[in-house]
């Protein structure tokens, strides 16, 4: 790892009883992603992994938020290609593109919050993974 940047957003704190993310939590997350995006500018897409928390799997308005989040991060829309998965026993996502893996993301949770985000985007390493459970 060449660089590390962490900023707690506490997205789950904005998940209401109606299972929708409130505007305040969304704005905190989008502002954070914009800051991260500035740091990531110039990196190849394959070098960047982004992972959402369980809040995004539960939230009824997650798709709308993810479109904004991808834009804020500056890497375009990949949400429609993401599939939930267990990654080494951790919650995560596999992003498929053009029939093959584009990225694998895993989340380490502590006290119900994402404490770490690991993203694998190296095409050579991705090619060695058995992703048949999430393909298609």
- What would the mean pLDDT of 21-32 be, rounded to a whole number? 91
Does residue 20 surpass a pLDDT of 90? yes
Does residue 136 surpass a pLDDT of 60? no
- Measured CA to CA, the distance from residue 64 to residue 51 in angstroms comes to 16
CATH architecture of 11-127: 2-Layer Sandwich (3.30)
Say whether pTM exceeds 0.85.
no
Token duo for residue 8: 């707690």
40-97, pLDDT tens digit by residue?
766 666 667 777 778 888 899 988 888 888 778 876 555 567 788 888 888 888 887 7
| Contact call for residues 31 and 73 (beta carbons, < 8 A) | no
CA atoms within 13 A on the CB side of 62: 17
Domains of the chain by residue range: 11-127
Does residue 99 surpass a pLDDT of 90? no
- What would the mean pLDDT of 33-37 be, rounded to a whole number? 82
């Amino acid at each position: 790892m060449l660089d590390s940047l962490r900023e707690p957003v506490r997205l789950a704190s904005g998940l209401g009883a109606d299972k929708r993310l409130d505007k305040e939590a969304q704005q905190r997350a989008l502002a954070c992603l914009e800051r991260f995006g500035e740091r990531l500018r110039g990196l190849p897409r394959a070098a960047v992994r982004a992972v959402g928390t369980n809040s995004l799997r539960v939230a009824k308005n997650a798709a709308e938020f993810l479109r904004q989040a991808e834009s804020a991060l500056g890497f375009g829309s990949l949400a429609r290609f993401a599939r939930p998965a267990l990654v080494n026993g951790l919650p995560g996502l596999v992003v498929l593109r053009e029939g093959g893996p584009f990225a694998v993301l895993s989340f380490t949770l502590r006290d119900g919050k994402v404490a770490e985000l690991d993203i694998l985007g190296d095409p050579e390493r991705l090619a060695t993974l058995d992703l048949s459970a999430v393909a298609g």
